[in-house]
Structure 1
Amino acid sequence: MKRFTNESMIEIIDYLKEYLKDKENRFICEFEVLNPDYSFDAYSGEKFNIAGVEYIYRSYNSWNSLAQILFCKPLTPKFISDELVKLSFMKLNINNTFHNSTIEQNEKYGVNSIFDNINKNEEASFLNYYLNALKNVDISSKKRVLNLGINNGDEFEVIKQISKDYKQTKFVGVDFCESAINIAKKNLPESNFSFFIEDINNLDKLNLGRFDLIISIGTLQSTTINFKTFFMSLVQDYLEDKGAIILGFPNCRWIDTQMIYGAKAPNYSYSELSILFNDVIFCKKYLQQKKYRVTITGKDYIFLTATSIKKELV
């Protein structure tokens, strides 16, 4: 079994990439390293001499990040001694993703699809920043909330858990996937929740009126939507004068059960963020012109949160 002692991270990455490249999916790669619990005060890169052997210290965070970079899932470490642990990386099947689904387009995100197995609310790096965004817009004060691309209602479920009195708020969700909307209706049967099956390009058909909060996570970047034009019309036609917006831009991919950091762009074999940043900055500048305070947060999902400052400017 390979043991890494004082090799640089460059050497480790090169070694593991070469070792894994021809291995089958779900292959488990095992190797020994200095126990990340060997020191609670060390930074990654610090060196320790143990029984005449030099080791470079790295934290579990560092090793878990490496697993993602290699498209692997880190498995439970096994202790060899006080000084050493065995790490195991399972190679993911990069083709096992809803992004490659051949299901009919309007059910690509529906019941029995790969996407249906995903629960973003159980991913801390999504939930933490979504909760911060909801706090930022003072969700308990909102009376009409619109979510575009609501799918099975998970994002409303979070609001239901944290809002002081969610029953006083009218929630409207729109999605083009019928089976997902049916699940949302089942999960959120209260009379203040309404769900519509519709392509959001045809939003005007629904005559929904205006809202004091609009949420859309991972939807507006669809290739079927003219993003900038649609976003501007959304603000102009559906947002109350002093309303708020939460937009979530995916900066990850779901591969073989794992949320892997980094947006995938066409014609690139690696994560490339130009399109994501272009869309985020466009929205920020447009909303600032409309007198909104805009914050950008997040990691695997980039959250743009906008709140009106028109009162402050009066």
Structure 2
Amino acid sequence: MKRFTSEPLTDILAWIENSLKESDTVSLCVLNPDVSHGRYAGETITLDGITYCYRSYKALSDLGEILFCRMRTPTPVDAHTVAITYEKLDLSDSFHRSDEKEEKYGTASRFAAVHKNEEPAFLHAYLRALRSVRVGERVRILNLGINTGDEFDLIRRILSPDSYQNLELVGIDHSASAIALARERFDEGNASFYVHDINDLESLGLGRFDLIVTIGTLQSSGLDFKPLFMKLVQKYLTNGGAMILGFPNCRWMGGEMIYGAKAPNYPYSEMSLLVKDVHYCKKYLQQKKFRVTVTGKDYLFLTATKIGVSG
């Protein structure tokens, strides 16, 4: 186990990267962040004649994430230091690598183990978006790419039973197994689910909606992003309708949600396509007299409500 006291983060990063070439786990001894509070990373603190460079547990956890590692529970070494162990993630353990088409996101897939509502970075941003559009006042709600219904489940949890029951929910997904489970989960009578191609919404005769939610779906390779987005605004939103669009800026690997979406032809996270899509939607909606905000981190949430129209 390597001991670090006042060395800069560049030294620690280089040592970990080199060590991970030879082993799946590395351990280092660093200042226990709990010895002091309210300090920023890089501040120095002297204890028993030894000068340490302070770093919080958040900084140490972030360090593991950018190296595609899981940080194990720290263990005390002495009165002022702890042992930090990083363990390589199994990068092959990811639904992103699946070649399956129809059931890549089905109940038997690796994706079924993902529960976005249990990830604070996703949950907080999605909750903010739902509250921003006053979801309880949106009678008809459409979700494209609903999968097993987690996004509807959060709506059900934050509303009173009466308010929730007043909603009409419609979910669409191409995975038959996911939709079958969604139908089991939502048996109150106010939700309808369809196994259907999102490119062919017209054949369902759905009408217009007060809120359209789609998270991580519009950018799918089988969809023509811009024409589909414009069609949703023009043909499926009511006059005072609202939208919540979720753009993934993360990957799911080895049991972890890792910040930064993988871009084609780049060995690292590159955000140009993400920023381009978000900017396009924001500009288009603003031209249509929507008030638009963009929030979030691992998922960017674009929330749009019509200016000058209540509810």
- Judge same fold: TM > 0.5, yes or no: yes
In structure 1, distance between residues paired with 2:76 and 2:68: 24
More displaced 10-residue stretch of structure 1: 81-90 or 48-57: 48-57
Superposition pairs of residues 227-306 of structure 1, within 5 angstroms: 227-306=225-304
CA drift of 1:242 comes to 1.0
> Of residues 135, 146, 153 in structure 1, which corresponds to 2:149?
153
In structure 1, distance between residues paired with 2:150 and 2:307: 29
In structure 2, distance between residues paired with 1:256 and 1:22: 20
> Of residues 107, 110, 125 in structure 2, which corresponds to 1:129?
125
- What CA deviation, in whole Å up to 9, does each residue of 1:264-298 have, x standing for no partner? 10000010000000000100000000000000000
In structure 1, distance between residues paired with 2:165 and 2:103: 30
CA drift of 1:95 comes to 1.8
SS state at 2:102 partner? helix
In structure 2, distance between residues paired with 1:42 and 1:280: 35
CA drift of 1:53 comes to 2.6
1:10 corresponding residue in structure 2: 10
2:113 corresponding residue in structure 1: 117
SS state at 1:107 partner? coil
Q: How high is the TM-score relative to the length of structure 1?
A: 0.96
1:65 corresponding residue in structure 2: 62
In structure 1, distance between residues paired with 2:149 and 2:36: 44
> Of residues 202, 212, 215 in structure 2, which corresponds to 1:214?
212
The number of residue pairs the alignment matches comes to 308
Q: How high is the TM-score relative to the length of structure 2?
A: 0.97
In structure 2, distance between residues paired with 1:248 and 1:21: 36
In structure 2, distance between residues paired with 1:59 and 1:96: 29
In structure 2, distance between residues paired with 1:219 and 1:77: 38
CA drift of 1:311 comes to 3.4
SS state at 1:16 partner? helix
In structure 1, distance between residues paired with 2:62 and 2:88: 14
- Residue 83 of structure 2 aligns with an amino acid whose one-letter code is K
SS state at 1:311 partner? coil
SS state at 2:279 partner? helix
In structure 1, distance between residues paired with 2:309 and 2:212: 19
- Residue 109 of structure 1 aligns with an amino acid whose one-letter code is Y
In structure 1, distance between residues paired with 2:217 and 2:298: 15
- Residue 190 of structure 2 aligns with an amino acid whose one-letter code is N
SS state at 2:83 partner? strand
**Tell me, which stretches of 5 or more residues in structure 2 are unaligned?**
none
CA drift of 1:309 comes to 0.5
In structure 2, distance between residues paired with 1:142 and 1:275: 31
SS state at 1:287 partner? helix
CA drift of 1:54 comes to 2.1
1:21 corresponding residue in structure 2: 21
In structure 2, distance between residues paired with 1:241 and 1:132: 23
SS state at 1:222 partner? coil
> Of residues 170, 173, 179 in structure 2, which corresponds to 1:172?
170
- Residue 294 of structure 1 aligns with an amino acid whose one-letter code is V
**Sequence identity (%):** 51
- What CA deviation, in whole Å up to 9, does each residue of 1:80-106 have, x standing for no partner? 22200011111101121100013x311
In structure 2, distance between residues paired with 1:270 and 1:311: 43
CA drift of 1:9 comes to 0.9
Residue 222 to residue 22, structure 1, CA distance change in 2 (3 Å): farther
More displaced 10-residue stretch of structure 1: 291-300 or 79-88: 79-88
In structure 1, distance between residues paired with 2:15 and 2:302: 38
In structure 1, distance between residues paired with 2:30 and 2:197: 51
CA drift of 1:202 comes to 1.3
2:222 corresponding residue in structure 1: 224
**Tell me, which stretches of 5 or more residues in structure 1 are unaligned?**
none
In structure 2, distance between residues paired with 1:179 and 1:36: 46
In structure 1, distance between residues paired with 2:109 and 2:74: 32
In structure 2, distance between residues paired with 1:311 and 1:142: 13
- Residue 162 of structure 1 aligns with an amino acid whose one-letter code is I
RMSD: 1.1
